[in-house]
Amino acid sequence: MITETNSNDVSNSQLYESQGAFRALSDPTRRGILMLLSERDMTIGDVSEHFDITRAAVKKHLNILQEGALISVRSSGRERINKLEPLGLKSAVDWLNYFNHFWDQKLSALQQAVENEQNNHKEEE
């Protein structure tokens, strides 16, 4: 353990920019809400009908989704319409894309292995 920050370390901005989004995404109910809202905008009441938890609990989830900028809310009379903000997912996607290089590579390796397998079988014919 060291006390001073090591300048070789991963930059904080890389980690904390996406924190709100990743935090919001960590709960399955919240991911379910996002999928619901991908079909149409909904009031809290609408959303609540799809889960076996109270409206208050759903409201808390919606707050966290809003903090993570994954949804937005607009008022219409006494209703609040929740709307998916797909661009909010971008920070999480961007962070994950950093690793694309690696699993593309691994997928290639897998593909290569399959091809080699096939060639071996051919040679055996």
Partner DNA sequence: AAATTATGAAACCAAAAGGTATTATTTAAA
Partner DNA sequence: TTTAAATAATACCTTTTGGTTTCATAATTT
Is 69 in contact with 85 (CB distance < 8 Å)?
yes
* Half-sphere exposure in the Cβ direction for 66 (13 Å, CA): 14
Of the pair 26, 119, the CB lying nearest a copy of itself is at 26
- DSSP symbols for 51-107: SSS-HHHHHHHHHHHHHTTSEEEEEETTEEEEEE-GGGGHHHHHHHHTTHHHHHHHH
Site for DNA in 63-82 (CB under 7 A): 64, 73, 76-80
- Find which of a copy of itself, DNA, none residue 99 binds, CB within 5 to 8 Å per kind: a copy of itself
Site for DNA in 84-113 (CB under 7 A): none
CB of 46 to DNA, least distance (A): 7
Site for a copy of itself in 69-98 (CB under 8 A): 84, 86-87, 89-90, 92-93, 95-96, 98
d(C-alpha 54, C-alpha 67), whole Å: 20
Which parts of this chain interact with DNA (CB under 7 A)?
23, 26-27, 29, 43-45, 52-57, 59-62, 64, 73, 76-80
